[in-house]
Structure 1
């Protein structure tokens, strides 16, 4: 068990799977048959031996208490993390039927755990002799040179946008994607990856269906605003200036004192851009009332390292990044292993959710969505689309077009016509539900 004495649910375990085949294979191993010498500790460690095709069983161990999310070690040759054996072991442990009793880890598991604890301690207390001396002057010169390159790039981009508007939007459809890809490459050369990403999005708009000229003009206006923000960043408020730098693509670092709280995991989902998997994890501080976003990345088809399934609660420190809204944060020291909880975030009505998005745009005009929890809402049909309506029927929010898959039907089934608490992202396209809680007692249900 975890330090809170509560085992995870099967859904929370399966949320760790890197892909659907791993989820299916791990489910088959979540029974006692292939396992021997399985055990767990109150410190958040689970171990066991799994019978494989060879003469020796696979040694599998999971450290649930790791500050960056569960850590895995298995002697199998799989390159997936977690592998099917780790998933099966956690499913066996989650069953709470005595198949994984409490105990002391065997020598092979204890050795791995001791090594992890030592490396974590060394990381928290780096040796002064091994730390490279900082050179503030050299760092300042590098930052100035990069800013000069970005300024040259945004000046060229502003000229391209002006040419587009003078020539008319029909020219964008005729030019095709190549023109935008060339411009994006110039932004990469200018070391402005954020601008490059937005320019590439422009190239896809002419092929996005009816109404594309309006959407193209909207995105051009936002891009123009970002260009002007960069050119006049010295006159902006500190928070907005930090947001502009981040949107352009400059790296940011967490700053300020860490905030310790009991953080409730609201949602976790991945996006893939063809090169990189980005994992977004939304947290809610039950004492501070703050909502925070953790980002983790995985390259070359590998799942991101950080994984926190929906419905867990962890006592940890977070440090926020600079920005007008300071939603993004970095996970610091974790004081207890994550464990399931009956807590849920407080919610608002749908009209207040829309107002919150409007307020967020004031601080960050390029914001696509903002995190909101809706209370007492019912999923309902609105013609061919869906909406989340307040239980009293006073107002409603449309469900975002991209959120109409299996998660939507899971939410409808959970509701059964009764009000729900729903967490999601509210934006100009509607509300994208990410997790839901039933009326009355019940655990969180992930919708993505």
Structure 2
């Protein structure tokens, strides 16, 4: 008998619904993976394939060798195993298998799990159940006895805090020299000096400061208006330095944010929050040799947004991946600071559902107000997650903007969105009619990440059904 992610037997009455093609492609590490996986998304290369109600999908893919590749996916994770040598997770074979599965039951019918796939599935889910039990007992032990050597931990924390203080003082001197010499000097000195300063922040064990210094170094080459942007970022960096140097006088929520911003690690804390979480968006951003994955969730009952962060080495997908548009019944535990947006995914209950209702959303004015309120708690916040209801994308000069259906307010789209195909998906979905859009609202504008047509709301209303009870397909924009 296979176990669920929570360690309980899966019931046959709870079959896993098939994902859409869009949800499968959202798992790909990069565009090359999407193209390679799409080529394997038909039944031609596959044999011995099937699926079952517990979320298992398996198949044999013909390759260049004499033996086919054995590919199995646990969609309740999701998790993947393939006998191919690829270091990408999911590999092109896993993506292709899921695309075949998404195409319908005739392509990949329900059947009995073969031994080679069942052995991995049973072991994976058993380990997940044991891990949850061990984590619970470990947490209980830690809370009862405390760290093994609290005095040594305190001394290490003090030494690191001292190094960070020295780094911030050195950085303040660097900013003072920059302003004394004039911002024009930043364009002449080149990127090397900033990279050297960033390396000094790494030595001071302040990776958050190092990242911001690297951003300063890239601004002079960012195009017209760069002196204004450089001055703004210098001011924010000075504010962060000053906050760290006076952190003992700050209220604890703000102090936690400052510690996070300079790069001190933190642990998720507090009671877990269980909800039915709609996966709104997932995207990767390179950060040197590390790839950072952000996954946005929306709780149906709590109404709160949560961001899951995971990391992977360059060229490898981060460990956590959730298909956009599915709803998971799960627990999350927030991290301190930064508006408690970041959270850690905990126990999942049952299997994901492939549909969910979009967040209720609000007006353009309320979105701007929400970002402004968040800045009071975290002045270094670049963006804030918001959902806009009944907005229409329209061109504006050299860019685009979202306007309220009533035409009372407008929000420009961030310049980075103009070159993405997601913009044209949004325009096509709207067709001049209002849509609901989720994204990140910040000082550079609004970055759309997911959208829903409002046609379903109108149909539900005419039938006397609340739109909150109807499922809408999530259109992925990134």
Q: Give TM class, smaller chain.
A: over 0.9
C-alpha offsets along residues 50-70 of structure 1, whole Å, 9 cap, x if unaligned? Answer: 22333322211001112xxx1
Give the distance between the partners of 1:147 and 1:332, measured in 2 at CA.
30
Give the distance between the partners of 2:121 and 2:363, measured in 1 at CA.
47
Which residue pairs with 2:103 in the alignment? 95
Counterpart mapping for 1:324-403 below 5 A? 324-403=338-417
Which residue pairs with 1:112 in the alignment? 120
Which residue pairs with 1:443 in the alignment? 473
- State the shift of 1:20 in Å: 2.2
Which residue pairs with 1:311 in the alignment? 325
C-alpha offsets along residues 28-65 of structure 1, whole Å, 9 cap, x if unaligned? Answer: 22222222222212221111222233332221100111
* Aligned residues between the structures: 444
SS at match of 1:27: helix
Which residue pairs with 2:289 in the alignment? 275
SS at match of 2:455: coil
Question: Which of the residues 14, 30, 35 maps onto 2:25?
Answer: 14
Which residue pairs with 2:460 in the alignment? none
- State the shift of 1:186 in Å: 1.2
SS at match of 1:210: coil
Contact 1:2/1:339 (8 A) holds in 2? no
Contact 2:56/2:74 (8 A) holds in 1? yes
- State the shift of 1:324 in Å: 4.7
Give the distance between the partners of 1:262 and 1:80, measured in 2 at CA.
29
Give the distance between the partners of 2:373 and 2:426, measured in 1 at CA.
28
| Pairing 1:47–2:72 present | no
- State the shift of 1:5 in Å: 4.1
Which stretch of the first structure deviates more once superposed, 197-206 or 18-27? 18-27
Contact 2:297/2:307 (8 A) holds in 1? yes
Which stretch of the first structure deviates more once superposed, 162-171 or 243-252? 162-171
Contact 1:2/1:41 (8 A) holds in 2? no
C-alpha offsets along residues 247-278 of structure 1, whole Å, 9 cap, x if unaligned? Answer: 00101110011101000011111111231111
**TM-score with structure 1 length normalisation?**
0.95
Which residue pairs with 1:136 in the alignment? 150
Which stretch of the first structure deviates more once superposed, 100-109 or 296-305? 100-109
Question: Which of the residues 386, 390, 410 maps onto 2:425?
Answer: 410
CA 1:192/1:240 → structure 2, altered by over 3 Å: closer, same or farther?
Answer: same
List runs of 5+ in structure 1 lacking aligned partners: none
- State the shift of 1:14 in Å: 1.2
Question: Which of the residues 294, 309, 315 maps onto 2:308?
Answer: 294
Which stretch of the first structure deviates more once superposed, 71-80 or 405-414? 71-80
Which residue pairs with 1:425 in the alignment? 440
Counterpart mapping for 1:46-195 below 5 A? 46-66=57-77, 70-126=78-134, 134-195=148-209
Give the distance between the partners of 1:55 and 1:281, measured in 2 at CA.
39
- State the shift of 1:2 in Å: 10
Which stretch of the first structure deviates more once superposed, 302-311 or 26-35? 26-35
**TM-score with structure 2 length normalisation?**
0.89
| Pairing 1:434–2:452 present | no
SS at match of 1:325: helix
- State the shift of 1:309 in Å: 2.0
Give the distance between the partners of 2:357 and 2:239, measured in 1 at CA.
41
Which stretch of the first structure deviates more once superposed, 416-425 or 201-210? 201-210
- State the shift of 1:218 in Å: 0.9
Contact 2:16/2:54 (8 A) holds in 1? no
Give the distance between the partners of 1:187 and 1:138, measured in 2 at CA.
24
Give the distance between the partners of 2:20 and 2:429, measured in 1 at CA.
17
CA 1:4/1:257 → structure 2, altered by over 3 Å: closer, same or farther?
Answer: farther
Counterpart mapping for 1:239-278 below 5 A? 239-278=253-292
- State the shift of 1:4 in Å: 5.5
List runs of 5+ in structure 2 lacking aligned partners: 1-11, 457-471
Give the distance between the partners of 1:255 and 1:330, measured in 2 at CA.
9
Which residue pairs with 2:46 in the alignment? 35
- State the shift of 1:118 in Å: 2.6
Contact 1:2/1:338 (8 A) holds in 2? no
| Pairing 1:216–2:230 present | yes
SS at match of 1:126: helix
Contact 1:387/1:396 (8 A) holds in 2? yes
C-alpha offsets along residues 152-191 of structure 1, whole Å, 9 cap, x if unaligned? Answer: 1111111221222222212222222222222111111110
